Structure 1
Amino acid sequence: MQVVIAHSQLNPGRITRIIESQTEALQKTTVKIITGACTDPETFTSKGAELIIIKELIDLEKKKYSDHEARQMLHLVHQKIREHIEPGTVLHFHNLNLGKNPIVTYAVYLLAKEGVKVFNHAHDFAEDRPSNLAFLKEILTNIFLQDVNEVLYPKLPNYQFGVVNSADLERLVSYGVDQERIVWLPNPVNVKTSPENLDKAEAKSTVCQTLKLDENKLLVTYPVKVIQRKNIGELILLSILFDHIASFAVTQAPQNPVEIEMYKQWVTFCADHEIDVTFEAGMKTDFEILLAGSDFCITTSYRESFGMVYLEPWLLDTPVIGRDIDYITRDFKEDSFEFPALYYKLNIPGIKVDFKDLNMKMQMEIISDLKSGRLSKQQVFEQNPILSTLFKKVADSVTAKNKAIIQNNYSLKAYGNKLQEQYSKLIG
């Protein structure tokens, strides 16, 4: 059996980390990886995978394509992927249904119609992003005269889906996919550093010295690439509420050009208002030492596909706090996971909607008022009593319990076994 793992690009990020874990978990299988671009090929080749660059897999800009351009690109993509498919191959494609490259999505559909075994690993969906769905319709319907739902969710026995949470499994069933063709495949939680080999106090001291932070304050890290749905404005607001006891750090800048402008505006805003949030901390110090040295990891995101941030830090004895996303955390809670300090909503005095639902301009105005004292911290705490318990010390027994659940239920070995099982079902 050969597995061809495919994704639009392998820049640093969550899906790249998942593919890295898959490559590691499939050491006894012949693995090829095809991608549009890769910043660190050795990450994959050192694990025995063959890496092939097919630049046409890169996400397309949402420009207008002529019929000729689209058909020419389709032929090229189809041909280049087909070259790496042999009998007994599973084509494991990540985020095919996000809609950022409709031509690739259509090419894989055509390959499946020809009998290629396809495993569509769905992390995100075009249905959640209207502009992506519109782009799919422009290409698939207007040019190729195809029904978008048929291309995204074909009723073929050799076409299976992997989902990272139970909510997405329910979603696919509601879209008409037979449940027997869907596997719930929670991401593996795989950190390289063992807490036994790392002194937390030492790690915090190292990080604080590197980032020039006060070691006497709590170190609170948001391990995230700052894109819109990560709701960075909320973290900035929290940093002001707790600036007397905590330093806040964010790990990565976005790489998507669409997101970069938003990010730059927030960085400039913080500089102009003398708000001490450390941006791009993951580029200035080792990522896992940063997580291990943090007193807490936090998330203010309002939409996730799997929610690795809720799990990974616990393996480094770092509790996770912040905003709850019920359709994500319900799976972890079903496993008896404990989250001592998560909140569902952030109320602002005089504002009727959740802070996360405000546009950037309104969020900036509220944060500016909080920073200047026009809006008092006391008012915000009164509206959100849970914030007073956000940084309450987490019992060692809770950390130990959560770590054990991760190690038992989300290990790399168990993940590899589940993948192999699905591939075997496809191959028959």
Structure 2
Amino acid sequence: MRIAIVHYHLRPGGVTRVIEHAARLLRASGRQVVVLAAEAPEDFPVPVKAVKALAYDEGKEPVSVSRLHAALADAAAAALGGAPDVWHFHNHHLGKNLALPPVVARLAAAGARLLLQVHDFPEDFRPYNYQRLRRFLDEDLAACYPSAPQVHYAVLNSRDRAFLAGAGVAAERLHLLPNPVWLPPQDGEAGRWPEGRLWLYPTRAIRRKNIGELLLWATLAEPGDHFATSLAPENPREQRFYRHWVSLAQELALPLSFDLARRSGWSFPAMVRAAHCLVTTSVAEGFGMAFLEPWLLERPVSGRDLPDITADFRGAGLALDHLYPRLDIPVEWLGEKPLRQRLVEGLRDLYRAYGLPEPTAEQCERAWAAWVREGRVDFGRLDEPLQTQVIRRLHHSAAARRMLPRRLAVPSPQTVARNRTVALGHYDLHHYGKRLESLYAALLAAPCRPPETLDAAALLHRFLQPERLCLLRL
């Protein structure tokens, strides 16, 4: 079997890790594999062919569809000795390279067998990407989603599987392929926290990670508690929000450090092992590695639950009942009228960015019902100015602090041991390799027919339900 795995780049990150694991496993089982990306890193452990036309084209003139098609076909054939039996694309439809979706459509029309692995969706609060695609594809977003027996989709969670099924992907062409969980062998001693308890948020501090909620927990800290994030953001668009939180934490003298990896020089495993507990406050994830990796190093993880994501982990046997799905704040702290106004503005901005009609009063009420319960609003739904108001109140008022939980819940050592066993048993590399081989076998056995397209409007509707509104994602 000849397999071409395609992604825009191989820079450090989640998708690159998944590609590396897949290519290693496939080569170990005797498959011919090449990875196609804009650049070929010198130290990548599997064969890579550079296809410069695959690079991100934001702020640049997109390459022609014909040029990218030819470049991919030529590079794959040169590396594999012939056309691939399977083309495995990662996030082909995300709008990072506008020529890639039409190339995938051409391959599907030619009868090529395609696995389209979706990590993220432009419909999922990514209006910039969505609008770029709309303009380039002449409003035809369905072109991103070819539908034929020889085109299969792989997703990371059951939510995305349900959304694609609702848009028309047949069950036999739609596969749940959770990421594998793996950490390198322990390299030296754990980092040593000087004193007290380190609560580590092992993340790059971007907006959807909900950094304000970490400041809230630092405001509620007990003596000896110290909170930290591991990495600073790299995206220039994130810098304004990041600087705001750094400045506020310094102003209020909170027990909170940023960019711990750079400041300490510790490796990721060393940081994790130094922590008393790992924390996540994220409001959106594609897979949710933060809910799995800490257990492998025998560390608990606590914080905000994301039921759409963690439902699969619970189904596999992971014990996560100590996580909280909401962190409720009295609406009166912010005022109902300004809070409602901000909600309506946020929903209007979101719909306008996607070219949708103004939200109706009924849609606004649905969003409000998701935000507010019994006079309390979920802190994670708020934006930075509103979250800052809450944090300042908590910092200055002991009475306000008594209205919230005293601290994050930490699972027992027995739960840590159990979850480690589940993570190793269900999400290890061996199981991932077997799932991938089975998926390829189903794809190769499928007949070939002229492709149709999915219902792109139905997919957009599912992602933009008013109940999913979160201001940090606008």
The reply to whether TM is greater than 0.5 is yes
1:346 aligns with 327
Is the 8 Å Cα contact of residues 21 and 190 (structure 1) preserved in structure 2? no
Percent sequence identity is 33
Q: What do the CA deviations read for 1:134-178 (whole angstroms, capped 9, x no partner)?
A: 221111115xxxx312x2221122211111111111111011111
Q: Say which SS state the counterpart of residue 120 (structure 1) adopts.
A: strand
Equivalent residue number for residue 358 of structure 2: none
* CA shift digits 1:381-405 (9 cap, x unpaired): 42x4xx335244x322211211111
Structure 2 residue corresponding to 1:357, chosen from 366, 381, 392: 381
Matched, 1:203 2:205: no
Q: 1:82 aligns with which of 73, 89, 93?
A: 73
Please report the TM-score for the alignment, with normalisation by the length of structure 1: 0.85
Q: What is the CA distance between 1:298 and its match in structure 2?
A: 0.7
Change over 3 Å in CA distance of 1:253–1:77 after alignment to 2: farther
Alignment deviations for residues 240-272 of structure 1 (CA, whole Å, 9 cap, x no partner): 211523211212222333223322333333334
What code does the residue aligned with 2:37 have?
T
Counterparts of 1:20 and 1:396, CA distance in 2: 32
Deviation at 1:102, TM superposition (A): 2.6
Q: 1:193 to 1:20 in 2, by over 3 A?
A: same
Cross-structure match for 1:211: none
Cα gap change, 1:51/1:410 in structure 2, threshold over 3 Å: closer, same or farther?
same
Q: Is the 8 A contact 2:191 2:266 kept in 1?
A: no
Distance 1:6 1:269, change over 3 A: farther
Q: Which residue of 2 aligns with 1:131?
A: 128
102, 107, 128: which one aligns with 1:106: 102
3-state SS of the aligned residue for 1:97?
A: coil
Structure-1 residue corresponding to 2:202 = 223
- State how far apart, in whole Å, the 1-side matches of 2:14 and 2:256 are: 23
> Deviation of residue 73 (structure 1)?
2.5
CA distance in 2, matches of 1:270, 1:52: 45
Give 1:411's aligned residue.
Answer: 428
Contact 1:13 1:225 in 2 (8 A): no
1:57 aligns with 2:54: yes
Q: 1:271 to 1:3 in 2, by over 3 A?
A: farther
Q: Could you tell which deviates more after superposition, 265-274 or 171-180?
A: 265-274
How far did 1:204 drift? 4.2
Equivalent of 2:400 in 375, 379, 384: 379
2:307 pairs with 1:326: yes
Report if aligned partners of 2:95, 2:132 keep a CA contact under 8 Å in 1: yes
Distance 2:55 2:204 in 1: 19
SS in structure 2 of the partner of residue 102 of structure 1: coil
**Distance in 1 of aligned mates of 2:244 and 2:322:** 30
Task: Give the aligned partner of residue 370 of structure 1.
Answer: 394
Q: 1:407 to 1:391 in 2, by over 3 A?
A: same
Question: Offset of 1:4 from its aligned partner?
Answer: 1.7
- Give the Cα separation in 1 of the matches to 2:271 and 2:295: 13
TM superposition outliers: structure 1 runs of 4+ over 6 Å: none
**Could you say if the C-alpha distance between residues 291 and 24 of structure 1 is closer, same or farther in structure 2, counting changes exceeding 3 Å?**
farther
Q: Secondary structure at the match of 2:138?
A: helix
Cα distance, 1:98 vs. partner? 2.4
The residue correspondences of 1:229-378 to structure 2 (distance < 5 A) are: 229-242=208-221, 244-283=223-262, 284-349=265-330, 350-351=333-334, 352-371=376-395, 373=396, 375-376=397-398, 378=399
More RCO (CA 8 Å, sep 6+): 2
Instruction: Deviation per CA, 1:96-146: give whole Å up to 9, x if none.
Output: 23233232122222122222221111111111122322221111115xxxx
In the alignment, the residues of structure 2 paired with residue 255 and residue 76 of structure 1 have an alpha-carbon distance, to the nearest angstrom, of 31
CA distance in 1, matches of 2:66, 2:315: 46
CA contact (8 A) 1:311 1:406 kept: yes
Q: CA deviation at 1:321?
A: 0.4
Paired letter, 1:312 = E
State the distance in 1 between where 2:280 and 2:241 align. 18
Deviation at 1:314, TM superposition (A): 0.4
Which residues of 2 match residues 32-51 of structure 1 at below 5 A?
A: 32-37=34-39, 41-42=42-43, 44=44, 46=45, 49-51=46-48
Counterpart of 2:428, as a letter, is: S
For residues 295 and 321 of structure 1, the distance between their equivalents in structure 2, rounded to whole angstroms, comes to 11
For structure 2, the residue ranges without an aligned partner over 5 or more in a row are 335-375, 446-474
Paired residues, number = 392
- The one-character-per-residue Cα deviations of 1:72-113 (angstroms, maximum 9, x if unpaired) are 532221111111143343221112232332321222221222
Change (3 A) 1:380 1:18: farther
Tell me the equivalent position of 2:357.
none
